[in-house]
Structure 1
């Protein structure tokens, strides 16, 4: 079973470089599964864009290019042995956990996310704890408009010392450029940077086998009754790769621009699709399109063309 991501290298890189040229203070984000590309390879690409690179956790600072400084976005209770990365704190407890560590931190300020982050007093608390505070971060939610996100950031500015960089996210470059010139800013970009040109990316899965079925037949882990005469299509993608039905329950698979029905929910390494008799049907060894967010998908094969 194989999930394959095909990338038009020139088109993809042209978009990435175009964004980097447009954004002053860009911080590329390379975290989790590396946005479907894998963290190691994507970090090399990111190192060509900025000397700073944002990662998800302290466990993701290993194996990064030597020329970049990692910025860890998620607070940690156990600081790393090195002071090279810039860590994030979002509460007094996070600050206490880093007491005695000699590195740099960014202080997370509260936003509508209500995840972690506090008021501006955390900056002084971090400094009293001996942490070198180099900036503050504001992380608006995805919900709302770009103007809503901008307003959440602007509301904090009167309390922020202009000597501190203001790290922001979830803004389009045009909105980012409109922030008041009272402060210096850095823009964290992940999805828009790496996935902004969807036409450069193609996700698909291979067909392992097919089986003709008749009305009344049952198949699958739960012996589900088939919808009618047709073909069961065994697709080499399942929960082991993060493949699941769409949020509305529909199948994530397509063949010849037609959505393929699922007989039942995907399992570890195989999904069972159903094609009614008379409809175009893939054959063993063919590939079918897969509609999944790349940040949720473990790709087996990355192909550059």
Structure 2
């Protein structure tokens, strides 16, 4: 296979999935977007294999993709929007749970008469979606006219105040109307403890920790497409850049369409992280960027920004160049990367 490939140790991956399943109360796998690099269909099929009764997708349009390999219930995490025709249609599907984050939308669903299955989202300090605590009483008054499936609480990642916030919002929600708590970004033991404290069922939604939690069980490689010797002062690339010295221009599969060169912003919450971001930005401003490709044991510099489906990387003289067709390691963040293939088998580096 020519391109960017995830080599996944299937037995080890499935052992990891089983461990998370055993540790997590009423696990709800999150199966959304590009499927964490593995694809929605594969993750839906794995969810069926491990025996969960419910998965969560990001958008209404993803329900149809996962409903073939997975026949259980599907939560749509994106809040209900009445103008979305597909979202309105899915409220009549007995296997779909619709998330509602606004009182007016809840009123509209309550007035439909067919009692759609509804999760009511509570706004957290993320300030993304959800009802404010003072609105929960008004929401509770509408719940007899829908099939109320519980309260959705999507917490921020920061840990210092997350547990306190989870408890405060869960108590407010259950105080307005007892119901199942659907929680994201809360450790399994905290989810369990909160359910026991409030005497209600709990569901733990898990995405990254489930699908990508065992990094040593996989490797990502890219195929070498061409290798060209160059001399100091010669030019190469779309922009005709002067190569930094004698060596080789190595053309490697993997470009912006795969997620190469793309980076999800980080919080840079420590001084060290900020210094690293500043140094990286300065190098970028100077036209230098370290690639995620490892050639002859080290990550090497991009010759220029990655192309759509390939990248040009400079390998200096003194290193050992790869051969065309070799596979070299590439470090990608799979939450934003799209490989060409996933191969089940022993990992390769």
TM-score, length-scaled by structure 1: 0.91
Q: CA–CA distance in 2 between the matches of 1:95 and 1:163? A: 17
The answer for the alignment partner of 1:92 in structure 2 is 103
C-alpha distance in 1 between matches for 2:116 and 2:4? 40
Give the direction of change, closer, same or farther, for the CA distance of 1:175–1:229 in structure 2 (3 Å limit). farther
Superposed structure 1 runs of 4+ greater than 6 Å apart? none
Selected match of 1:282 from 315, 322, 330 = 322
List alignment gaps of at least 5 residues for structure 2. 266-279, 281-288
| Change over 3 Å in CA distance of 1:104–1:180 after alignment to 2 | closer
CA distance in 2, matches of 1:199, 1:253: 18
1:197 aligns with 2:211: no
After TM superposition, list the pairs within 5 Å mapping 1:34-183 onto structure 2.
Answer: 34-47=35-48, 48-63=50-65, 64=67, 65=69, 67-77=71-81, 78=84, 79-81=87-89, 82-84=92-94, 85-95=96-106, 98=109, 100=112, 102-120=115-133, 121-122=135-136, 124-125=138-139, 128=142, 130-142=145-157, 144-145=158-159, 148-161=161-174, 163-179=178-194, 181=196, 182=198, 183=200
CA deviation profile, 1:37-82 (whole Å, cap 9, x unmatched):
1111110111233110101100001142353111000113222424
Aligned counterparts, 1:225-236, within 5 A: 225-236=242-253
Distance of aligned partners of 1:190 and 1:286 in 2 relative to their CA distance in 1, 3 Å threshold: same
Task: Tell me the equivalent position of 2:338.
Answer: 298
Distance 1:49 1:257, change over 3 A: farther
Cα distance, 1:197 vs structure 2:
0.8
CA contact (8 A) 2:107 2:142 kept: no
Cα distance in 2 between the residues matched to 1:180 and 1:304: 38
Structure 1 residue 103: Cα displacement: 1.4
Q: What pairs up with 1:209-228 in 2 under 5 angstroms?
A: 209-228=226-245
CA RMSD of aligned residues (A): 2.1
Given that 2:56 and 2:74 are in contact with CA atoms closer than 8 Å, whether structure 1 keeps it comes out as yes
Report how far residue 211 of structure 1 moved: 0.8
**Higher helix proportion:** 2
1:256/1:194 CA distance change after superposition, 3 Å: farther
Residues 231-277 of structure 1 show CA distances to partners (whole Å, capped at 9, x for unaligned) of 11111111122221556453211134411111111111111111111
Q: Is the 8 A contact 1:210 1:232 kept in 2?
A: yes
Structure 1: tracts of 5 or more residues without a match: none
Length, aligned pairs only:
303
